[in-house]
């Protein structure tokens, strides 16, 4: 079984190869930075346009390293009880009732015993961060960290710098090997410098033509070479326009190619494109513009 340690002996090119074997095509920069994150034991902060494969990198890493993936989806108002741990109150009460029913002895020691048994590990609900620490080595994906509040960032910083969690009633839980942490952000707000300093930063760009064709092949092997090239060519041209509200990402390319393939299209034409446009653009204004652009691109 390959794990983090054996992975550390690899080179950046090996990392790219391992990722490619799971269907994730990385480029030189991403492979180097990922390799550095592995070697330096630092969290990896990924930013970039939506649909450029930030989240998929964590999934691919987990698969390539054969490690469990623990995902923490951030949202506004998330706090420690949803990220770390919580106590299972209903079960604790049930337990208390059960103790009452069997009629445990009276006296100070019995009360103490009963109280102690309430804060047992079995009543602990492990949330993603704690789960990652317990399951470590693991890949911890902190998705869309920019959606969480600032306070949560401070708390995350604490966990990411020590890789341990202390539970007052139970003691400290420490990861034997620090998990590999991947944070993604869509830049809806600037993250705190302190958090950024802990991380290696990488901005994921849209891939170039050749790499996107490669990605399409690896993710949707059924799609024929000719159709794949046509689809990617058009998407790349659309990305160069600056009047689209949401330029299509790689995820949209995959969706579109897949939709065309399901319709049995071998050669991209206007009619097939119009029928599947919903997979490519998600705004009404964009639909009109893309339609016009397609008229020109496919006319020849």
Confirm or reject binding of residue 20 to another protein (CB under 8 A): no
C-beta closer to another protein: residue 187 or 275: 187
Confirm or reject binding of residue 146 to another protein (CB under 8 A): yes
Confirm or reject binding of residue 239 to another protein (CB under 8 A): no
Confirm or reject binding of residue 193 to another protein (CB under 8 A): yes
Confirm or reject binding of residue 71 to another protein (CB under 8 A): no
C-beta closer to another protein: residue 93 or 121: 93
Closest CA to 200 of 54, 36, 52: 36
* Sequence-ordered strand ranges (E) for 95-253: 124-126, 139-143, 164-167, 171-174, 180-185, 200-204
Closest CA to 269 of 238, 299, 236: 299
Grouping H, G, I as helix, E, B as strand and the rest as coil, residue 9 is coil
119, 201, 214, 298: residue in contact with another protein (rule CB under 8 A): 201
134, 155, 174, 196: residue in contact with another protein (rule CB under 8 A): 196
Size of the site for another protein (CB under 8 A): 37
- Residue where the block lists tokens 């930013």: 47
Stretch that binds another protein, among 18-26, 160-168, 201-209, 226-234 (CB under 8 A): 201-209
Confirm or reject binding of residue 295 to another protein (CB under 8 A): no
* Sequence-ordered strand ranges (E) for the chain: 44-48, 69-73, 85-87, 124-126, 139-143, 164-167, 171-174, 180-185, 200-204
Q: Which two tokens stand for residue 140?
A: 């911890």
Closest CA to 19 of 35, 41, 43, 5: 35
Confirm or reject binding of residue 5 to another protein (CB under 8 A): no
DSSP H or E segment with residue 241: none
106, 172, 176, 188: residue in contact with another protein (rule CB under 8 A): 188
Q: Which residues would be at the binding site for another protein (CB under 8 A)?
A: 12, 28-29, 32-33, 36, 39-40, 42, 47, 76-77, 79, 89-90, 92-93, 96-97, 100, 146-147, 186-190, 193, 196-197, 200-203, 245-246, 285
């Amino acid at each position: 079984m390959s794990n983090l340690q054996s992975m550390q002996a690899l080179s950046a090119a090996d990392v790219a190869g391992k990722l490619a074997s799971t269907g994730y095509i990385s480029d030189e920069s991403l492979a180097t930075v990922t390799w550095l994150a592995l070697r330096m034991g630092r969290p990896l902060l990924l930013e970039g346009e939506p649909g450029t494969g930030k989240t998929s990198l964590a999934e691919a890493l987990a698969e390539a390293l054969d490690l469990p993936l623990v995902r923490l989806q951030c949202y506004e108002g998330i706090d420690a009880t949803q990220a770390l741990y919580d106590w299972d109150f209903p079960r604790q009460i049930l337990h208390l009732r059960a103790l009452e029913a069997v009629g445990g002895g009276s006296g100070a020691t019995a009360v103490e015993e009963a109280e102690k048994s309430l804060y047992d590990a079995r009543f602990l609900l492990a949330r993603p961060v704690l789960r990652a620490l317990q399951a470590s080595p693991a890949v911890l994906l902190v998705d869309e960290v920019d959606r969480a509040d600032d306070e949560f960032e401070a708390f995350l910083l604490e966990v990411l710098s020590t890789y341990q969690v202390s539970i007052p009633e139970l003691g400290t839980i420490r990861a034997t090997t620090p998990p590999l942490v991947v944070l993604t952000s869509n830049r809806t707000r600037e993250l705190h410098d302190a958090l950024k300093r802990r991380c290696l930063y990488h901005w994921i760009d849209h891939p170039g033509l050749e790499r996107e064709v490669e990605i399409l092949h690896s993710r949707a092997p059924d799609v024929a070479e000719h159709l794949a090239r046509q689809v990617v060519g058009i998407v790349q041209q659309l990305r160069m326009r600056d009047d689209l509200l949401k330029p299509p990402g790689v995820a949209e390319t995959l969706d579109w190619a897949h939709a065309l393939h399901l319709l049995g299209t071998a050669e991209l034409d206007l009619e097939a494109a119009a029928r599947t446009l919903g997979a490519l653009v998600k705004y009404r204004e964009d639909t009109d513009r893309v339609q016009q652009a397609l008229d020109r691109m496919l006319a020849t």
